[in-house]
Amino acid sequence: MSGGQSELPRLLTAVETAAPADAVDVIAEDLRRRFRAARVSFLIVDLTGRAVARLSTATPVESERETERIPLFGSVYEQVVRTQRLYQEAADQGQRVIVPVTNRGDAIGLLELLLPAAPGEDVLAAVGEAAHALAYVVIANGRFTDLFTWGKRSRPPTLAAEIQYQLLPPSLSCEAAQFTLCGHLEPSENLSGDTFDYTLDRETLHLSVTDPMGHDIDAALAATVLVGALRGARRAGADLAEQAHRADQALADHGRGHATGQLLRIDLHTGQARLVNAGHPWPLRLRGGTAEVLTCEVDHPFGLSVRVPHPYRVQEVDLRPGDRLLMMTDGMLERHGERVDLLALLEQTRGLHPRETALTLTSAVLQAAGGRLEDDATAMCLDWHGPQQTQRHVSSGADTQQASAGRRRREP
């Protein structure tokens, strides 16, 4: 802010004049000059959720630019991602300020400044405004450059992994008035094609979790057919049963084997939830601090319509305000997943944001496997707040009332 006036219009104009890959640098350099900062950095959260990459650094000396990956666990960066609150501390050369860069609960990254002295409220407000704008800048310019995609990856993906990652929703997390959700995919050594998906329209929240047969490129191609059929049917206005039928037919028609899956639709005005289960593991529900398996009727997997001609059943799901629902693939339950008590872990993580819960659960399965999964482990965590809410009550990209508390100890 300058004299109570927002700098946002000028800042966005400067971003528009720059190349897409330089858009973040423009904001970083602008903040450095305005507040005489020794350094301004943008750090993007890795797809694994376990590290951040320093993608942009504005310093007085151009040669000081660097790219580094920093483990999140036990760091101050993890504290800011989890709590979604500004962090401030004295540093050797001044005052260190770290602000979350978040859009609708999607923790994109962090904005870090090294200021010459403790900032006043006006400076902190200006930095917060810039961080909020930066989330939109990253999303908009990500359509034109691979810079941010590269920053989210700890290692170059295989062809199968590249295909599989492109099938995931652009944002793994979403906060809305009626719900909060996040999905996390922990890939196996030979990717197994797991996907999760969601979208939100004026009246309905749509969710899906799918798991094709096979591994590597075969599984990735089957997942492409499956997700494409589901999205196409959904966007054409098909109901749940018809979506399931089209996915089933697509796999059968294109010889891509079979896949299990779960489709869920929730009416945002009434809270009514409906489910189709195509040979998939049952979801878990946390209610009042107690976790339980949510049993339901199981129909045949997608792709078997020729051998098992049977319509998919649409079932009612008992979902109440305050419930947490976990949808997952069998990689969370079988092989090494059998060693993890998911019900107990779901109860233990009830105070965490779905973002941290999904990561904690998939990480537990990965740890049980000694770091080498034989099957993808995927979890989608949904908190249902209820239809009584129609607007988010936030001033930035995250609802801090829903955020996790800071970590008290280093991850083992």
Q: How far is CA 354 from the centre of its chain?
A: 9
Judge whether 156 lies within some domain: no
Question: Rounded to an integer, what distance in angstroms lies between the CA atom of residue 382 and that of residue 61?
Answer: 46
What pLDDT, on the 0 to 100 scale, is given for residue 162?
93
The answer to whether residues 358 and 184 touch, using CB atoms and an 8 Å cutoff, is yes
378 and 302 in a common domain: yes
The answer to whether residues 56 and 25 touch, using CB atoms and an 8 Å cutoff, is yes
123 and 257 in a common domain: no
> What Å distances lie between residue 264 and 8, 96, 100, CA to CA?
39, 44, 31
- State which of 150, 167, 197 marks the end of a domain: 150
196 and 125 in a common domain: no
Question: Rounded to an integer, what distance in angstroms lies between the CA atom of residue 202 and that of residue 198?
Answer: 14
Question: Rounded to an integer, what distance in angstroms lies between the CA atom of residue 93 and that of residue 258?
Answer: 60
Reduced to 3 states (helix: H, G, I; strand: E, B; else coil), residue 264 is strand
239 and 379 in a common domain: yes
217 and 141 in a common domain: no
**Can you give the C-alpha Rg of the chain in angstroms?**
22
Judge whether 396 lies within some domain: no
* Partners of 278 in the β-ladder: 261, 299
Question: Rounded to an integer, what distance in angstroms lies between the CA atom of residue 107 and that of residue 102?
Answer: 5
Judge whether 158 lies within some domain: no
183 and 123 in a common domain: no
211 and 286 in a common domain: yes
CATH of the domain at 125: 3.30.450.40
Nearest Cα residue to 194 out of 377, 383, 361, 3:
377
194 and 117 in a common domain: no
> Which ranges of the chain have pLDDT less than 70?
1-5, 60-67, 306-308, 408-412
What pLDDT, on the 0 to 100 scale, is given for residue 60?
67
The answer to whether residues 404 and 349 touch, using CB atoms and an 8 Å cutoff, is no
Judge whether 41 lies within some domain: yes
Question: Rounded to an integer, what distance in angstroms lies between the CA atom of residue 245 and that of residue 239?
Answer: 10
Judge whether 403 lies within some domain: no
CATH of the domain at 272: 3.60.40.10
What pLDDT, on the 0 to 100 scale, is given for residue 391?
86
Task: Characterize 316-350 residue by residue with b for buried, 16 or more Cβ atoms within 10 angstroms of its Cβ, and e for exposed.
Answer: ebebeeebbbbbbbbbbbebbbeebebeebbeebe
Residues found in the chain:
412
Judge whether 164 lies within some domain: no
Which residues have a Cβ under 8 Å from the Cβ of 109 and sit 6 or more positions away?
42, 43, 44, 45, 52, 55, 101, 138
76 and 21 in a common domain: yes
Burial classification of residue 228, based on how many CB atoms lie within 10 Å of its CB (0-12 exposed, 13-18 middle, 19 or more buried):
middle
Can you give the residue range of the structural domain that contains 308? 177-384
Q: Would you state the torsion angle of the CA atoms of residues 391, 203, 182, 389, taken in this order, to the nearest 10 degrees?
A: 30
Which residues have a Cβ under 8 Å from the Cβ of 75 and sit 6 or more positions away?
none
322 and 234 in a common domain: yes
Judge whether 169 lies within some domain: no
Judge whether 406 lies within some domain: no
228 and 280 in a common domain: yes
The structural domain count of the chain equals: 2
